Structure 1
Amino acid sequence: MMSTGTNRIMDEFAKLMTDAAGAAQGVRREAETAFHAQAERWLNSLDVVRREEFDVVREMALKALDENEALRAKIEALEAKLSGDGK
């Protein structure tokens, strides 16, 4: 009889621990979500850009620099041709 009562108590204790662990995981997930939301608000208030956005703008800037170099080379070639024709 004693072992049946002990087993029931142990089963109840195990169920309580399982429920507590599940609740702890839920609280942890909520805390992480709240933290991420707060961190995002804080970063947005600092005007910090995401890595993907930075990379896109960086690629655009590099492309613009390449285009400027190409245009500069064309202008220099035209200037050289014009100054050569004028002589």
Structure 2
Amino acid sequence: MQSENPLIADFVKLINGAAGTLAGMGREAGENAREKAKEIFGGMDFVSREEFDAVKDMAAVAREEMESLKTRLAALEAAAGKTD
């Protein structure tokens, strides 16, 4: 059975309003934190995963070429009779 007491009705309205206000504050705090994180990390100079992988592949190719050139140099020095 529902009560017709205006004091209880006002109290329920107050609690509902407070709950709505707290929920709104929580959403706003989350949005502010997200915006602040974007602001902080947005100024940093990050690279994308694709850029990182491309540079990593280029470094691997350069490393292989360097090893090949080291081997050729050692062979040429040996042929010329030069040793370290």
Q: 2:42 aligns with which of 20, 37, 40?
A: 37
How far apart, CA to CA, are the structure 2 residues paired with 1:5 and 1:23? 27
Higher relative contact order (CA 8 A, sep 6+): 2
2: CA distance, partners of 1:7 / 1:63: 75
2: CA distance, partners of 1:28 / 1:10: 27
Aligned sequence identity (%): 13
Corresponding residue for residue 48 of structure 1: none
User: What is the RMSD computed on CA atoms of the aligned residues?
Assistant: 3.0
- For 1:15 and 1:74, locate their aligned partners in 2 and report how far apart those are by CA, in whole Å: 80
TM-score (norm 1): 0.60
**Distance in 1 between residues matched to 2:10 and 2:68, nearest whole Å:** 83
Normalised by the length of structure 2, the TM-score is 0.62
Counterpart residue number, 1:71: 72
Q: Structure 1 segments of 4 or more deviating over 4 A?
A: none
Check if 1:21 corresponds to 2:22: no
Unaligned runs of 5+ in 1: 44-51
